[in-house]
Amino acid sequence: MNLQQLNQISESVQEKHGSCLKRVGVCCGAGCISSGSTAVVDSLKSAVKAKGLEDKVEIFPTGCMGACNQGPLVKVDTFNETIYQKVDAENAVQIIEQHVLQDQVIPSMLLFSDSDPEPKVRADENSFFQKQVKVVLENCGLVNPESIEEAIHAGSYMALHKVLTSMKQEEVIYEIKKSGLRGRGGAGYLTGLKWGIVAKFQNAIKYVVCNGDEGDPGAFMDRSVLEGDPHRVLEGMLIGGYAVGAGKGYLYVRAEYPLAIKRFEQAVKQARSFGFLGKNIFETNFEFDVEIRVGAGAFVCGEETALVASIEGKRGVPRPRPPYPAESGLWGKPTLINNVETFANVPPIILSGHHWFSKIGTSKSTGTKVFALTGKINHTGLIEVPMGTTLREIIFELGGGVPEGKRFKAAQTGGPSGGCIPAQFLDTKVDYENLVSLGSIMGSGGLIVMDESSCMVEVARYFMEFCMDESCGKCVPCRVGTKQMHDLLNKICQGEAASSDLELLEALAPMVKETSLCGLGMTAPNPLLSTLRYFREEYRAHIIEKRCPAGVCKMKTAQNKKKARV
Amino acid sequence: MNASFTITIDNQSVEATPGESLLEVCRKANIPLPVMCDFKGLSPVGACRLCLVEIEGVPKLLPACTTLVAPNQAVHTQSDKLRKYRRMIIELIFSERNHICAICVANNNCELQKMAYELGMDHVRFPYLTPVCEVDASHEKYVMDHNRCILCTRCVRVCSEIEGAMTRDVMGRGFDARIITEFKQPWGDSTGCTSCGKCVQVCPTGALTPNDAAQGRLKKNPELVALLIEKREAKP
């Protein structure tokens, strides 16, 4: 494979697109598939066939388009990108007959037509899309993730070509360092710095690992990227491999993501047959191959040392750091471990340069961040915004606010390792430092919105239960500490706690945070600590007044107990 | 041979050799550090978190057993915070399963009990969780009482690293984690176990005992295993 061939593939795809009357993309992300988008694809295809237009109208699957709770989504995609929502096998035919053949838009099916009195014909005019800046999700929802030719047409493997044919290893690392890109898995370590550490080990076997063990409740960013644009992640890993001097890469992905596994596997096979994996990539000496390792359903395996143990075939438990995997990772060798989204940021940085990237976002947190919006929010879905966008913009402009006119109460970021941010901080600019100062973390990008009907003690209990269940059991503070904290929170939620129980909780939380072996235990008290910080009044109501202000917790009060006895 | 250097532990200058752990240096210098999961000669795992120390310039607490010495390190082993946390950890261990000394064969011959005395634990402020755990008495010589187990994994490590039988491992996670024999079969049915008894000798509590031990009459000899490890490592 060389540049000429790459361009040829791109041109032939361009030609094919040009000969089409219309191209119709159907969202085939996990969300839309579960609401029936495969039937929509079949229906669209047979409708086109019935009209004898197979050559003129292309029906193709795409990755996630973003507005997940409006699915299945269909994008009619020539010049004015119209998205139709809640399409089923029957009204799909209407899209072909009216929009594709007669250029008549169907207003009643337009995206957000059930909430917006004037639904937009051009999907990107919706407030949901307007403030988004798509770097990672550039091709997601536009390109057929199952076709490498389409990916090449969309620009994939151009950055790899640039790196292999015109950049030295240290130049690649310099570019990533200068871009200010930080790890998107949660901790926010400078990616370029990590690459530099792995690269400095001379004459060693090295590995690249892509961490796709996304496990936070309510998070689906990495899943969507893997499902929607697997070639971009693969290309990022290849560039990382070249920069640090590794010859082998692993994608560690959880078994609960079968579609992501399938699409990535497919991408690896295609890349191998096109010569992007294997020996002499782009006619250079660079050699690289990728293997997929599927996790067995343990949240802790997202922690990098547990992930390494799991890939090695051992029990997935963490070990103390240092040494960090960058020095001693897979089989004791220097190993570069980055998150899916981090790798997906690499190709555009290489192509457009660090100046372009560092202009997006804030000075300390550059670039964009993909968020999975869930909970009590009108537009559930996948968004990508520049770092430094305020919570208010994300929740009320993009997310369309809280449904049923209820009052916003808190936003939970960072999953079980994060915290709850109350309404008074809605104008905080979202970046790594600001979220930490509020007692939460960026995390991998899950954003759960809660309204007045959510009980914050119950939220803390829920996340503590999650951590308790997912604790590997190796170290005492996490194994027993999360269990004790969970039981105490449970007691509070049932109205059976005394003030002394709260004191115990407040003694345990900092201890578990400071003494646990890995990130799971170290961050497990965060949801508890942040809700205590901002919603202490609710804890007080549960303990003293035996009352749940949000009306969520079922109190075992004296009266209820009597009733139960009768 | 790498040149040795000096580090400070609790404001005291101590000689250290590259590659040594902080715990090893403390032991040589007779600086006491509480440990439950560590056993001299077995690979360190940093699981009990009792040997956590403060190192100047390092924001988090690190376990002495897995942290290597480095030149100019300044280590503190006895701050108020560390003492407070250690006590809570030992209380958590006591709250987890059944550690009622009065009815235990290991009474007065128990590292956990000794540690509780040393750390000044006079009561347990957390609710006792005491799940009902299995007692495996199927072996002809030994008993495993999971109710006394603190999951230090010394038995797992001694079996794989010293005896080489690899009979034991950990199954399940979190609060439900258990030490298992082979693929969770009764100990007596294990064909891999050599009945060497090293696991019994290194077990810090009454979880692994000879089956003829009466209450408070248990005699264990972990020093024998330590000596064995030393002899194996010594070059002839």
Q: Is A320 in Cβ contact with B174 (below 8 Å)?
A: no
The last residue of a domain, from among B78, B96, B116: B78
Cβ-nearest to B49 among A469, A472, A476: A476
> Would you say residue A121 has pLDDT above 80?
yes
Average pLDDT over residues A431-442: 92
3-state secondary structure chain B: CCCCEEEEECCEEEEECCCCEHHHHHHHCCCCCCCCCCCCCCCCCCCCCCCEEEECCCCCCEECCCCECCCCCEEECCCHHHHHHHHHHHHHHHHHCCCCHHHCCCCCCCHHHHHHHHCCCCCCCCCCCCCCCCEECCCCCEEEEHHHCCCCCHHHHHHHHHHCCCCEEEECCHHHCEEEECCCCCHHHCCCCCCCCHHHHHCCCCCEEECCCCCCCCCCCHHHHHHHHHHHHCCC
Helix axes A476-493, A499-515, angle to 10 degrees: 150
| Predicted local confidence at residue A33, as pLDDT | 95
Task: Please tell me whether residues A373 and A503 are part of one structural domain.
Answer: no
| Predicted local confidence at residue B192, as pLDDT | 94
**DSSP assignment of A398-450, as one string?**
IS---GGGPPEEEEEESGGGSEEEEGGGTT-B-SHHHHHHTT---TTSEEEEE
Residues of chain A with Cβ-Cβ distance to B48 below 8 Å are 475-476
> CA-CA distances (angstroms) from residue A558 to A272, A499, A542, A565, B142?
68, 18, 14, 11, 49
Q: What's at A478, amino acid-wise? A: C
Q: Is A517 in Cβ contact with B49 (below 8 Å)?
A: yes
Kindly state the helix (H) or strand (E) to which residue A26 belongs, with its residue range. strand A22-27
Cβ-nearest to B63 among A320, A481, A507: A320
In whole angstroms, give the CA distance from residue A162 to residue A171: 12
Q: Are the C-beta atoms of B52 and B63 separated by less than 8 Å? A: yes
Q: Is residue A566 part of a domain?
A: no
Task: Please tell me whether residues A422 and A476 are part of one structural domain.
Answer: no
pLDDT digits (tens, 9 = 90+) for A506-532: 999 999 999 999 999 999 999 999 999
In whole angstroms, give the CA distance from residue A91 to residue A71: 13
Q: Is A477 in Cβ contact with B129 (below 8 Å)?
A: no
State what percent of residues in chain A have pLDDT above 90.
Answer: 90
Task: Please tell me whether residues B62 and B123 are part of one structural domain.
Answer: no
Residues of chain B with Cβ-Cβ distance to A468 below 8 Å are 174-175
> CA-CA distances (angstroms) from residue A513 to A89, A476, A523, B67, B85?
51, 12, 6, 19, 11
Task: Please tell me whether residues A388 and A461 are part of one structural domain.
Answer: no
Q: Is residue A423 part of a domain?
A: yes
For residue A366, the 8-state DSSP code is B
> Would you say residue A560 has pLDDT above 70?
no
Task: Please tell me whether residues A182 and A301 are part of one structural domain.
Answer: yes
Structural domains counted in chain A: 4
| Predicted local confidence at residue A556, as pLDDT | 81
Strands A248-254 and A207-212, by their bridges, are: parallel
Residues of chain B with Cβ-Cβ distance to A481 below 8 Å are 92
In whole angstroms, give the CA distance from residue A426 to residue A432: 15
Strands (DSSP E) contained in A44-163 are: 57-62, 74-76, 82-84
Q: Are the C-beta atoms of A48 and A40 separated by less than 8 Å? A: no
Q: Are the C-beta atoms of B20 and B69 separated by less than 8 Å? A: yes
The last residue of a domain, from among A357, A388, A422: A357
Task: Please tell me whether residues B204 and B123 are part of one structural domain.
Answer: yes
Distance to chain A for B108, nearest Cα, Å: 23
| Predicted local confidence at residue A77, as pLDDT | 76
How confident is the prediction along chain B (236 residues), in pLDDT tens digits per residue? 568 999 999 999 999 999 999 999 999 999 999 999 999 999 999 999 999 999 999 999 999 999 999 999 999 999 999 999 999 999 999 999 999 999 899 999 999 999 999 999 999 999 999 999 999 999 999 999 999 999 999 999 999 999 999 999 999 999 999 999 999 999 999 999 999 999 999 999 999 999 988 777 788 888 989 898 888 887 66
Contacts of A305 (CB under 8 A, 6+ apart): A318, A319, A321, A325, A518
| Predicted local confidence at residue A500, as pLDDT | 95
Of residues A175 and B214, more confidence is placed in A175
Tokens representing residue B76 in the block: 């503190």
User: How far is residue A450 CA from its own chain's centroid?
Assistant: 20
| Predicted local confidence at residue B236, as pLDDT | 63
CA-derived radius of gyration, chain B: 19
Kindly state the helix (H) or strand (E) to which residue A233 belongs, with its residue range. helix A230-244
CA-derived radius of gyration, chain A: 25
Average pLDDT over residues A172-178: 97
Distance to chain A for B143, nearest Cα, Å: 23
Q: Is A472 in Cβ contact with B175 (below 8 Å)?
A: no
Residues of chain A with Cβ-Cβ distance to B184 below 8 Å are none
Phi and psi of B145, rounded to 5°?
-105, 100
Task: Please tell me whether residues B212 and B159 are part of one structural domain.
Answer: yes
| Predicted local confidence at residue B214, as pLDDT | 77
Cβ-nearest to B92 among A317, A473, A484: A484
Tokens representing residue A445 in the block: 């990008």
Contacts of A187 (CB under 8 A, 6+ apart): A519
Q: Which domain holds residue B17?
A: 5-78
Task: Please tell me whether residues A337 and A377 are part of one structural domain.
Answer: no
| Predicted local confidence at residue B133, as pLDDT | 96
Task: Please tell me whether residues A314 and A235 are part of one structural domain.
Answer: yes
Q: Are the C-beta atoms of A315 and A533 separated by less than 8 Å? A: no
Structural domains counted in chain B: 2
pLDDT digits (tens, 9 = 90+) for A331-377: 999 999 999 999 999 999 999 999 999 999 999 999 999 999 999 99
Kindly state the helix (H) or strand (E) to which residue A186 belongs, with its residue range. none
Q: Is A511 in Cβ contact with B49 (below 8 Å)?
A: no
Alpha helices for A167-229 (secondary structure H):
169-179, 191-199, 221-228
pLDDT digits (tens, 9 = 90+) for A49-64: 999 998 899 999 999 9
Q: In CATH, what number is assigned to the domain containing residue A411? A: 3.10.20.600
State what percent of residues in chain A have pLDDT above 70.
Answer: 98
Q: Are the C-beta atoms of A232 and A209 separated by less than 8 Å? A: no
Q: What's at A23, amino acid-wise? A: R
Tokens representing residue B234 in the block: 């010594």
pLDDT digits (tens, 9 = 90+) for A366-419: 999 999 999 999 999 999 999 999 999 999 999 999 999 999 999 999 999 999
Q: In CATH, what number is assigned to the domain containing residue A83? A: 3.40.30.10
Average pLDDT over residues A294-322: 94
Tokens representing residue A72 in the block: 């299945």
In whole angstroms, give the CA distance from residue A314 to residue A69: 39
Q: Is residue A5 part of a domain?
A: no
In whole angstroms, give the CA distance from residue A247 to residue A403: 50
Q: In CATH, what number is assigned to the domain containing residue A352? A: 3.40.50.11540
Distance to chain B for A463, nearest Cα, Å: 15
For residue A133, the 8-state DSSP code is -
Contacts of B31 (CB under 8 A, 6+ apart): B9, B10, B12, B14, B77
A interface with B, Cβ–Cβ < 8 A, is 298, 300, 315, 317, 319-320, 322, 468-484, 487, 504, 507-508, 511, 514-517
For residue A283, the 8-state DSSP code is G
In whole angstroms, give the CA distance from residue A71 to residue A67: 7
ipTM of the complex: 0.95
**DSSP assignment of A466-527, as one string?**
HHHHH--S-SHHHHHHHHHHHHHHHHHHTT---HHHHHHHHHHHHHHHHH-SSHHHHHTTHH
Q: Which domain holds residue A265?
A: 148-357
In total, the C-beta contacts within 8 angstroms joining chain A to chain B are 99
The last residue of a domain, from among B44, B78, B112: B78
| Predicted local confidence at residue B232, as pLDDT | 83
In whole angstroms, give the CA distance from residue A33 to residue A24: 16
Residues of chain A with Cβ-Cβ distance to B96 below 8 Å are 479-480, 483
3-state secondary structure A44-77: HHHHHHHCCCCCCEEEEEECCCCCHHHCCCEEEC
The rounded mean pLDDT for chain A is 94
The last residue of a domain, from among A57, A90, A125: A125
| Predicted local confidence at residue A16, as pLDDT | 93
Q: Is A504 in Cβ contact with B67 (below 8 Å)?
A: no
The last residue of a domain, from among B78, B96, B113: B78
The last residue of a domain, from among A425, A451, A477: A451
| Predicted local confidence at residue A355, as pLDDT | 97
Residues of chain A with Cβ-Cβ distance to B174 below 8 Å are 468-473, 478-479, 482-483
Cβ-nearest to B92 among A300, A469, A480: A480
pLDDT digits (tens, 9 = 90+) for A265-300: 999 999 999 999 999 999 999 999 999 999 988 999
Task: Please tell me whether residues A174 and A248 are part of one structural domain.
Answer: yes
Cis peptide before A72 (omega within 30 of 0): yes
In whole angstroms, give the CA distance from residue A135 to residue A145: 16
Q: In CATH, what number is assigned to the domain containing residue B21? A: 3.10.20.740
Q: Is B85 in Cβ contact with A475 (below 8 Å)?
A: no
Cβ-nearest to A484 among B67, B95, B169: B95
Q: Are the C-beta atoms of B106 and B205 separated by less than 8 Å? A: yes
Cβ-nearest to B92 among A320, A468, A477: A477
Distance to chain A for B27, nearest Cα, Å: 21
Task: Please tell me whether residues A215 and A185 are part of one structural domain.
Answer: yes
Task: Please tell me whether residues B122 and B199 are part of one structural domain.
Answer: yes
Tokens representing residue A332 in the block: 């004791």
Distance to chain A for B61, nearest Cα, Å: 7
> CA-CA distances (angstroms) from residue B191 to A52, A183, A346, B165, B185?
70, 48, 52, 10, 10
| Predicted local confidence at residue A297, as pLDDT | 85
Q: In CATH, what number is assigned to the domain containing residue B220? A: 3.30.70.20
